């Protein structure tokens, strides 16, 4: 069997096929008009008891678009969105696109220096930059750096409580203490407060801006795990193609679903989930604080979502909340898992709560808009596998050093080609050449193994692979094995330089104990037990040389374990 034959197509669900590329030749703003025209009275989203219909969302986003235009922004300029999952994010991302701007998510967790870097990178080449941010971030960061960002022309501020009912916004009990900052005028910069100076202050009519499939819609920055963050240029065609292929893959129908997701909208997974809901005419439940699992469960019991979409760590956090077992499994049709590996044992426990066969693990990255691989909705699902390549996707596994195709069953770097692959990295032509080869394949940096049915599983990131005495240790595989020990709730494995053998590494495991494990406090004894378990279940070179117990593993803004931080520590 050859990768070129795409032999995995025989294992697709019976109704799945490659889509006609002509379906992708449109803009995202045009692709979503059906929702606003056919379902105006349906709830677009729910937010702490506030309901906003698609008709209202259309009007609010038109107002935001016209505000940008009246303040001098033109097609091809950039809007950075620096807030959590609150209504203003959806309003601004749609409004920015309607005004012809390019949207870029800017994590509210970034430092002032990191925000400065991203906004300056976005504004290169003569682009004007607008920023929507939280009032607390404005006061804490933007006031200190705005003079160093010459392309920044407009800042719009808002608060987490802006769309909350007044009694909730005042008390703030559901989201904890709501940080606020003083919004003040800044010389040479237009500063507007959304609820005072933008909402209901501009025309609610959609502006007449022409967008084509080749126009850039988003600049999504990678996490910067190896060097400075890179901005992936995603065209309207890239994004529309991936949304349509994904909906076809899962056979989702227009107007029939309700989504709850903890993925932040500034991350590609959150943006994609939000965009799918809008194009499908589905309602969303907005979750600004994904760590508040009690609130998530309360919203699930109230609204009964049909689809969940989260990073595995959030599902694991939900499992630790005893209230999660109270949910009615019949309401959930699918639970989407992506953005990080999900240990097989944890998957089995999760499905025991939501129902067998409902968990669908997917695979993607910012550079591919993001999804390219996934488990089928109706056919065989393999827990611990990311699934089969999507329609319209070419895929192969290669030796990361030589580029030679690897045989089935052997680990190799996942390379993908298709209409969802980015146009390149913003301002980084050399990095683009390294990432996308002359045949158009995106080199993902992920090491995968494909079986004879075409199902893929992730062995590791190339940068997370550990070399011990010439042997390759795949951290994901090792972590999956270690989590079977009853004491281990979560684990992260990294490699440390071996001072006695240059070029070789030593395996270190950071372990967060399972809250249900009865620990007597004797770390030395538990270390010996875990080491013995590893020796019994792993190859000798995989056994951790060092074990460190931690109350909580550090995670990135999207919920992935932050191995970069662990290495630095």
395 falls within a domain = yes
Residue 21 CB contacts under 8 Å (≥ 6 apart), including other chains:
241, 392, 419
Mean pLDDT calculated for residue range 386-392: 97
Q: Average pLDDT of the chain?
A: 93
Tell me: pLDDT of 341 over 80.
Answer: no
Whether residue 262 sits in one domain with residue 294: yes
Residue 222 resides in a domain? no
Tokens in use for 192?
Answer: 């507007």
Tell me if 181 is assigned to some domain. yes
Taking only the tens place, the pLDDT of each residue in 276-296 is 999 999 999 999 999 899 999
Q: Average the pLDDT over 304-324 and give the result.
A: 93
DSSP H helical ranges for 355-389: none
217 occurs within a structural domain: no
Nearest to 174 by CA among 293, 83, 265, 262: 293
| Backbone dihedral angles phi then psi of residue 415, each to the nearest 5 degrees | -125, 130
In this predicted structure, the answer to whether residue 170 has a pLDDT above a threshold of 70 is no
Domain membership flag for residue 27: no
Q: Let me know whether 107 and 193 are in one domain.
A: yes
Structural domain includes residue 375: yes
Would the pLDDT of 226 be above 60? Answer: no
Please enumerate in sequence order all residues whose Cβ is within 8 A of that of 251, keeping only pairs 6 or more positions apart, or say none: 13, 15, 16, 377, 378
Is the Cα dihedral 425, 429, 431, 436 positive or negative? positive
The strand pairing partners of 220, in sequence order, are 232
User: What is the pLDDT at residue 141?
Assistant: 95
Domain CATH for 326: 3.40.50.12780
Percentage of residues in the chain with pLDDT exceeding 70?
97
CA distances for 176 relative to 96, 160, 169, 331, angstroms: 30, 11, 11, 29
pLDDT at res. 339: 83
446 pLDDT higher than 80: yes
Regarding whether 122 and 267 lie in a shared domain, the answer is no
Neighbours of 502 (CB within 10 A): 7
Backbone angles phi, psi at 43, to 5 degrees: -65, 125
Check whether residue 443 and residue 505 sit in a common domain.
Answer: no
Q: Does one domain contain both 452 and 492? A: no
In which element (H, E) is residue 476 found? helix 475-482
- Residues 23-37: tens digit of each pLDDT: 999 999 999 999 999
Closest by alpha carbon to 200, among 171, 235, 162, 231? 162
3-state secondary structure 248-273: HHCCCCCCCCEEEECCCCCCHHHHHH
Q: Mean pLDDT, to the nearest integer, of 424-445?
A: 95
Query: Which range has the top average pLDDT, 55-64, 345-354, 455-464?
Result: 55-64
Residue 190's contacts (CB-CB under 8 Å, 6 or more residues apart) are 71, 153, 154, 155
Please identify, among 441, 461, 481, the residue that sits at the C-terminal boundary of a domain. Answer: 461
Q: How many helices (H) and strands (E) does the chain have?
A: 17, 26
* Overall average pLDDT of the 397-413 stretch: 94
pLDDT tier at 176, thresholds 50, 70, 90? low
Domain edge (last residue) among 461, 485, 514: 461
Q: Minimum mean pLDDT among 200-209, 338-347, 360-369: which range?
A: 338-347
Is the predicted pLDDT of residue 384 greater than 90, yes or no? Answer: no
Number of domains in the chain: 3
pLDDT-based confidence at 167, cuts 50/70/90?
Answer: low
Separation of alpha carbons 122 and 49, rounded Å: 36
Given a cut of 60, whether residue 173 has pLDDT beyond it is no
- What are the tokens at 250? 């899962």
Q: Are residues 478 and 534 in the same domain?
A: yes
- Rounded distance, CA 445 to CA 337, Å? 20
Give the β-pairing of 50-53 and 43-47: antiparallel
d(CA 449, CA 473): 14
Statement to judge: residues 483 and 437 lie in one domain? no
Q: How far apart are CA 334 and CA 360, in angstroms?
A: 7
Q: What pLDDT, on a 0 to 100 scale, did the predictor assign at position 218?
A: 98
pLDDT of 344 > 90? The answer is: no
The enclosing domain of 108 has a CATH number of 3.40.50.980
CATH code (residue 507) = 3.30.300.30
Residue 204's pLDDT is what? 98
pLDDT at 460: 81
Based on the fold, state whether residues 13 and 86 are members of the same structural domain. Answer: no
**Partners of 493 in the beta sheet?**
509
Q: How far apart are CA 508 and CA 362, in angstroms?
A: 28
Pairing verdict, β 258-261 and 102-105: unpaired
* Domain of 502, in residue numbers: 466-568
Higher-confidence residue of 365 and 461: namely 365
pLDDT tier, 168 (very low <50, low <70, confident <90, very high otherwise): low
Region 339-355: mean pLDDT is: 88
Do 277 and 283 meet the contact criterion of CB atoms below 8 Å apart?
yes
- pLDDT higher than threshold 60 for residue 89: yes
- Beta carbons of 35 and 279 less than 8 angstroms apart: yes
* Range with the poorest average pLDDT among 47-56, 397-406, 445-454, 467-476: 467-476
Is 531 inside a domain boundary?
Answer: yes
pLDDT band of residue 225 (cuts 50, 70, 90) is: very low
Q: Are residues 315 and 334 in the same domain?
A: yes
pLDDT higher than threshold 70 for residue 551: yes
> Where does a domain end: 195, 211, 227?
211
Positive or negative, the CA dihedral 62, 63, 66, 72 is: negative
Per-residue b or e along 535-555, where b marks 16 or more CB atoms closer than 10 Å to that residue's CB: eeebeeebbbeebebeeebeb
Query: Which of 68-72, 465-469, 480-484, 517-521 has the lowest average pLDDT?
Result: 465-469
Let me know whether 118 and 194 are in one domain. yes
Is 218 domain-assigned? no
> Average pLDDT, stretch 176-202?
88
Q: Is 449 helix (H, G, I), strand (E, B) or coil?
A: strand
Whole-angstrom Cα distance, residue 560 to residue 313?
7
Question: Does one domain contain both 423 and 303?
Answer: yes
How are the residues of the chain apportioned to helix, strand and coil, as percentages rounded to the nearest 5?
35, 25, 40
pLDDT tens-digit profile of 455-482?
999 888 777 888 887 777 888 889 989 9
Residue 180: predicted pLDDT: 78
Residues 76 and 151 placed together within one structural domain of the fold: yes
Query: Rounded to whole angstroms, how far apart are CA atoms 274 and 259?
Result: 9
Structure pTM?
0.86
């Amino acid at each position: 069997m050859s990768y070129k034959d795409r032999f995995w197509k025989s294992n697709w669900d019976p109704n799945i096929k490659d889509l006609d590329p002509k379906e992708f030749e449109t803009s995202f703003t045009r692709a979503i008009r059906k929702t606003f025209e056919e379902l105006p009275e349906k709830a677009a989203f729910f937010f702490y008891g506030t309901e906003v219909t698609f008709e209202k969302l259309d009007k609010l986003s038109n107002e935001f678009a016209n505000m940008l235009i009246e303040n001098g922004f033109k097609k091809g300029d950039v809007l950075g969105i620096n807030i959590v999952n609150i209504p203003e994010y959806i309003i601004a991302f749609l409004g920015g696109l309607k005004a012809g701007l390019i949207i870029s998510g800017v994590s509210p967790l970034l430092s002032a220096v990191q925000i400065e870097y991203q906004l300056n990178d976005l504004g290169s080449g003569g682009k004007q930059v607008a920023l929507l941010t939280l009032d607390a971030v404005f006061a804490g960061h933007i006031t200190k750096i705005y003079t160093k960002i010459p392309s920044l022309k407009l800042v719009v501020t808002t608060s987490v409580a802006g769309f909350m009912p007044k009694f909730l916004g005042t008390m703030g009990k559901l989201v904890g203490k709501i940080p606020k900052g003083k919004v003040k005028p800044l010389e040479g910069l237009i500063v507007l407060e959304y609820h005072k100076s933008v909402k209901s202050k501009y025309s609610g009519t959609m502006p007449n801006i022409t967008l084509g499939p080749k126009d850039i819609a988003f600049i999504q920055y990678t996490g910067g795990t190896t060097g400075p963050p890179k901005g992936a240029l995603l065209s309207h065609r890239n994004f529309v193609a991936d949304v349509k292929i994904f909906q076809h893959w899962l056979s989702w129908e227009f107007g029939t679903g309700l989504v709850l997701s903890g993925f932040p909208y500034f991350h590609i997974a959150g943006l994609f989930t939000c965009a799918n809901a809008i194009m499908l005419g589905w309602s969303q439940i907005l979750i600004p604080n994904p760590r508040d699992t009690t609130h998530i469960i309360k919203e699930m019991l109230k609204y009964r979502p049909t689809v969940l979409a989260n990073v595995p760590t959030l599902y694991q956090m939900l499992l630790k909340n005893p209230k999660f077992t109270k949910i009615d499994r019949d309401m959930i049709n699918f639970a989407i898992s992506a953005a990080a590996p999900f240990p097989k044992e944890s998957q089995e426990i999760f499905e025991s709560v939501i129902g067998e066969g409902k968990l669908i693990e997917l695979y993607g990255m910012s550079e591919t808009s993001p999804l390219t691989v996934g488990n089928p909705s109706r056919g065989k699902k393999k827990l611990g596998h990311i699934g089969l390549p999507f329609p319209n996707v070419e895929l192969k596994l290669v030796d990361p050093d030589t580029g030679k195709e690897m045989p089935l069953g052997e680990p190799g770097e996942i390379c993908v080609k298709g209409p969802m692959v980015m146009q390149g990295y913003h301002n980084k032509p050399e990095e683009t050449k390294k990432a996308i080869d002359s045949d158009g394949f995106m080199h993902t940096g992920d090491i995968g193994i494909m079986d004879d049915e075409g199902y893929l599983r992730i062995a590791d990131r190339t940068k997370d692979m550990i070399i011990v005495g010439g042997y390759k240790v795949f951290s994901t595989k090792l972590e999956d094995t270690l989590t079977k020990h009853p004491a281990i709730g979560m684990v992260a494995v990294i490699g440390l330089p071996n001072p006695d053998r240059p070029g070789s590494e030593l395996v270190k495991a950071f372990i967060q104990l399972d809250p249900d494990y009865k620990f007597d406090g004797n770390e030395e004894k538990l270390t010996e037990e875990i080491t013995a378990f590893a020796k019994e279940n792993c190859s000798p070179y995989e056994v951790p040389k060092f074990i460190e117990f931690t109350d909580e593993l550090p995670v990135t803004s999207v919920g992935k374990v932050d191995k970069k931080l662990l290495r630095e520590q």
